[in-house]
Amino acid sequence: MRIAVVEYDKCKPKKCSYECQTFCPGVRMGEETVVISDDNKKPIISETLCSGCGICVHKCPFGAIHIINLPEELEEPVHQFGPNSFRLYRLPVPKENSVLGIIGPNGVGKTTAIKILSGEIVPNLGNYDEFSSLLGTFSQHTISRGERARQYDIIARYFRGSELQPYFEKLQEGELKVVSKPQYVDKIPKVVSGTVEEVINKVDERNMADGLFDEFGMEEVRERTLEDLSGGELQRLAIMAAIVRDADVYYFDEPSSYLDIYQRLNVARVIRRLSKDKTVIVIEHDLAVLDYLSDHVHLIYGRPAVYGIVSSPMGVRVGINTYLQGFLKDENVRFRNEEIKFTYKSPKEWSSEDVLFAYPELTKDFSTFSLSVSPGEVYKGEVVSIVGPNATGKSTFVKMIAGVEEPTSGDLSRELEVSYKPQYIKRDFDGTVRELLFAVAKSTLYESWYKTEILSPLQLTMLLDNRVDELSGGELQRTAIAACLSKKADLYLLDEPSAYLDVEQRLAMAKTIRRRMENEDTTAIVVEHDLVTTDYISDRTIVFSGTPSVDGCASSPMMMRTGMNDFLSRIDITFRRDSENGRPRANKRDSQLDRKQKDMGEYYYSQVK
């Protein structure tokens, strides 16, 4: 089966000579294979007449057209937004009294699947005419209760004999109450007003708000208005608001975003507890969190913005390992060319000649917060990670090294050339991605090594002509990382580079940074909350501790085993290594291995066991 997808947000007809139509063999032979709309001059491709020659794909100067061949077994999608638009094949299967994890790249339909299962979107089974306009700009029309019931009758018949048939029947009859935690929590203050306590009390149907305030560390923000909350506080508020409601099915879309490692694992514990008598589905990019809280997983693979396919359910270990391997044995499908493995890194040995940068004991005092930094030194060619709770001074420390903030005490030498990517990236560049990178990399942008080492791994090749102020969060993050690494520097500082990135993008980013440091014999200091990414990228680590928003204390750089043992003991979590690919796996609390490692004082295994 052949599908054609046109990303209309990338299509720029005013700058186009319509070569997708001019050079199409079908059009030249008199067939209406590619039609240019009279309304907005954008192409509509006939998927029944398209021969799959790929000429239009290569002729489109904006990378807006995709022609994909799929197996015949996937002929009918569960949902399609319009002609030449994204389509989703199959759906995850919710299971009672368990946590179902969903893993996959950005843009392959994870959130769409949740919206279908929650009833927010009525799946059209590929019959999009009633739901979308001619050019695929999806708009769910308001339909009557009778029409909605007719739609769900068709859906129930489509899933006849499967576990989804009774699910959709209950959903249509109103016997299934569904609560969703949205993906973009930063939008909550735009639609909800009031203090944190007022918002939670309005939706507290299970009389459990007081306990969650304490468990989530939200006591100090009870009286704050939503406009005054940070990203992490908004995330915890959204999770609390979902949990205190009385429902049968709970959906959590990326619950770890904006949270530090301790908060992520704490949230995972609460969600697991919720699943004892409820059905829970979680979309998550942090593999350690997904592994810790899930009972089984679905993989969603495909081409971002083009199509997504939901795999059969798997055990959590098998599912995550299959995702990293990139090959579905049961379906004989390879969805990634390279297998991802976490190879054991032998501790490096440095001499005094390898020291790149040494800093003394530092302090930084604000009106309500103080930071104390132990002296340390970093070496050429290494990557030093920074781990610790939010609001304990990690970003402040990086800013002091970058010269953005001046320490209250302690002298920092600034003889090194420093490249700095901040935590919060502004969209204040007036131009395209290509122009931004050229301003930093100059002619290096057009050299083959730059494309191989930076553009391709960070998936920026197709974004070069996009305006910076129009990029999504993930696209902007990857662009900022590339701009940071493009600068010729001795020391690279990256604050939370994995934010907004999916699993594959996080590991590709980590590999890009490591390779850049090793090849150029330069050094990187990286603030990171994803433990899997931290393990993948780091040679040594700096551990932050203290009382959030009150005081922070930074250790000297330590070897990974020592530093992670120190940090994980503070948050009372143990990790082991997977025997198949070496990835870190969080032990379930009070499991036999968890108790054994705590007795040994081994919270973090640095070797495969």
Outline where 95-230 has alpha helix (H): 110-117, 145-158, 164-173, 188-191, 196-203, 209-215
- Rounded to an integer, what distance in angstroms lies between the CA atom of residue 602 and that of residue 582? 17
pLDDT at 141: 44
Beta-carbon neighbour count of residue 417 at 10 Å? Answer: 12
pLDDT at 131: 40
DSSP designation for 454: I
Q: Phi-psi category of 182—alpha, beta or left, where left has phi over 0 and alpha has psi -120 to 50?
A: beta
pLDDT digits (tens, 9 = 90+) for 223-264: 989 988 888 899 999 999 999 999 999 999 999 988 988 899
pLDDT digits (tens, 9 = 90+) for 21-35: 888 888 888 888 888
Q: Which domains does the chain have, with CATH numbers?
A: 2-69 (3.30.70.20), 188-246 (no CATH), 352-571 (3.40.50.300)
| Structure tokens that stand for 608 in this block | 């495969």
- Rounded to an integer, what distance in angstroms lies between the CA atom of residue 593 and that of residue 554? 30
Residue whose entry in the numeric block shows the structure tokens 């609001």? 391
pLDDT band at residue 321, thresholds of 50, 70 and 90? very high
- Rounded to an integer, what distance in angstroms lies between the CA atom of residue 371 and that of residue 395? 11
C-beta contacts of 422-426 below 8 A and 24+ residues apart = 422/395, 422/495, 423/395, 423/495, 423/496, 423/499, 423/527, 425/476, 425/477, 425/480
pLDDT band at residue 146, thresholds of 50, 70 and 90? low
Enter the pTM of the model: 0.85
